[in-house]
Amino acid sequence: MPSPLVLVRHGQSDWNLKNLFTGWKDPDLTPQGVAEAAAAGVMLKEMGLSFDIAYTSVLRRAQHTLEIILGELGQPNLETVKDQALNERDYGELTGLNKDEARQKWGEEQVHIWRRSFDVPPPGGESLKDTAARVLPYWDKVIRPVALSGKKVLIAAHGNSLRSLIMRLEGLSGDEIVKRELATGAPVIYWLNSDGSIARKQDLGA
C-alpha cells in the first residue's frame, strides 16, 4: 500500500513579509505564517494523516512551522530530525537585501537570472543546482529509505530545498523546476510505491 510523503514550505516569515532575500538567515514566522502553519496542520488532520517521523532544516521558520503542524495533529513529540542539508538556498551577497534594492544594484535582468535560472548562482551564494547537490544526497541516504520502508514522512523545509526534492520525485528538468511555485504553508502530498514511483499526488495549495 502506498505511504504518504508530505512536503510543506514554512509559513510566511518576517523577511518574506519585508520582501528580503533570506537564505540561511534565521527570521521567525509572522502571525500570518503561524496561521498558515496551523491551517496546514488542520488540513492534514482532516485527511486523517499522521506521521512516523519528521525532517526539517536547522532554520527556525521551518522548525516553528513543523512544531505548529505537529501540535494540530496531536503529535507534538514526534521523532524529528533536523539537518542543514534541508536549509534554504544560500543567496550570498543578496542575503538581507530588499528585492527591489537588488534590482537597482545589479539590474532587473541579472537579478531575474539569479532567481529563476537553475545553475547561475548569485555572488557568494548557491544556485538551485548547488542546493540540489546537498539536498538530494541527504534524500537518497537518509529520507528515501525510510519513506520507501512504508513509514509516513513529513518534511517541513524551504522553497528551494523542496524544489530540489520535487525535481527528483517528479523527474523534472532544471528548466521545469525553476518555474514551480510553492505556496507558504501549503502541503504537497505524494503517495509513494515501494519502488519510489508516485502512486498519487495531491497539492493542497493548488
> Does the annotation mark 10 as catalytic?
yes
In the residue annotation, 88 being an active-site residue is answered as: yes
| Residue ranges with strand state E in the chain | 3-9, 53-56, 80-82, 153-157, 188-192, 198-203
Which whole-number Å values give the CA distances from 198 to 46, 54, 96, 167, in the listed order?
Answer: 22, 20, 37, 13
Q: Given 36, 67, 72, 88, which residue is catalytic?
A: 88
Grid-cell match 512544531, residue found: 67
For residue 110, give Cα distances in angstroms to 35, 115, 119, 129: 34, 9, 13, 17
Phi-psi region of 19 (alpha: psi -120 to 50; beta: other; left: phi over 0): left
- Helices 108-116 and 99-106 pack at an angle, to 10 degrees, of 120
Active-site residue, selected from the candidate residues 10, 64, 67, 126 = 10
Cα(76)–Cα(69) distance, integer angstroms: 9
What is the number of H-type helices and E-type strands within the chain? 9, 6
Task: List, by residue number, the catalytic residues.
Answer: 10, 88
